[in-house]
Copies of this chain bind each other. A is one copy, B any other.
Amino acid sequence: MAGLELRNPTMNAAGVLGISAPLLKRIYEGGAGAVVTKSLGGPQRMGHSNPTLVSVEGGALNAMGLPNPGAEYFVEMIRELKGDGVPVVASFFGGSIEEFRDVALVLSEAGVDALEVNVSCPNVAEEMGMLGADPMNTEKVTEAVKEVAKSPVIVKLSPNVTDICEIARAAERGGADAITAVNTLKGLAVDADLRRPILTNVTGGLSGPALKPVALRCVWEIYEAVEIPIIGCGGISNWRDAVEYLLSGATAVEIGTAAMDGGFDIYGKIAEGIREYLVENGFKEVKDIVGLAHGG
């Protein structure tokens, strides 16, 4: 995947449990092919105050507000993980193109295996503007990150756009080595008794099975729009979901909300399910089925 050799195509989704080295290590021990950190910024952020997550039918709505200890602080965690032989993808964000570059440099020097540029968090848009809604900005950020990156650069896109292919092509032009599709859909939960929004941030990001059809469609469309590999993300709960993503054009998958029910071994279970699917259907490796549904 984008120059990386992973033992299997599963990862945790950014922001899901990636706040410390021991938790990320447990995800790896749970069977993931690589682990993804919480999105890291320059300065430390405390995130939004509670309620920050509530389940809705078919999924969860969250507005954590990108809490993170700051990229510099996290360097040691990355070193610890690398010391234990865990492949690490560092997710990160910035408030400006310069910050994106600076953070990328810090993380890159810490020795991560790949960088995942988060231009798509729906929960801090008012503070920082959702860069990922604009092709020009996406291209510029990608370029800036590529300038300093020593490892592959993955750009994570938002589904909250009119034409995701346009943004994917911008990332590709900017030099992205891969694309992660997608981040959460912007949603809202209101309580009829309290007569107010449930989340402190008012809106939040919809993840889980409810997101799956939209995310799968995004992967499908991006696969037809760019040449670089795609990491599928959104509502994957079992190996069947994961295979659907691979068939639609993803080379690997990230799994987030399903860890709520499934726990840490969900990564291994899904990886094993994919393997069995390949065997039963006479395929040798994951890449043999990537995008296969487009042929039908």
Q: Which residues of B contact A56 (CB under 8 A)?
A: 209, 212-213
**B296 & A196 in contact (Cβ 8 Å cutoff):** yes
**A293 & B216 in contact (Cβ 8 Å cutoff):** no
* Contact of A162 (CB < 8 Å), options: B161, B203, B220, B248: B161
What are the interface flags for A18-33 relative to B under an 8 Å C-beta threshold, 1 for contact and 0 otherwise?
Answer: 0000000000000000
**A248 & B209 in contact (Cβ 8 Å cutoff):** no
28 intermolecular pairs with C-beta atoms under 8 Å apart: A56-B212, A56-B213, A57-B58, A57-B209, A57-B210, A58-B209, A59-B213, A133-B162, A162-B162, A185-B185, A185-B213, A185-B214, A186-B214, A187-B212, A187-B217, A188-B213, A189-B216, A190-B216, A192-B243, A192-B247, A195-B247, A195-B296, A196-B296, A202-B220, A203-B217, A206-B214, A210-B210, A210-B211
What are the interface flags for A210-245 relative to B under an 8 Å C-beta threshold, 1 for contact and 0 otherwise?
Answer: 111110110010000000000000010000100110
Q: Which residues of B contact A244 (CB under 8 A)?
A: 190-192
Q: Which residues of B contact A161 (CB under 8 A)?
A: 161-162
- Complex CA–CA separation, A247 to B216 (angstroms): 32
**Would you give the shortest CB distance from A126 to chain B, in whole angstroms?**
12
Cβ-based interface call for A197 (8 A): yes
On A, residues with C-beta under 8 Å from B are: 56-59, 61, 133, 160-163, 185-192, 194-197, 202-204, 206, 209-214, 216-217, 220, 235, 240, 243-244, 247-248, 277, 289, 292-293, 296
Query: Which single residue of chain B is at the shortest CB-CB distance from A211?
Result: B210
- Complex CA–CA separation, A51 to B294 (angstroms): 17
**Would you give the shortest CB distance from A188 to chain B, in whole angstroms?**
4
- Complex CA–CA separation, A293 to B191 (angstroms): 9
- Complex CA–CA separation, A49 to B193 (angstroms): 44
Name the 5 nearest CB pairs between A and B, nearest first.
A58-B58, A187-B213, A196-B296, A210-B210, A188-B217
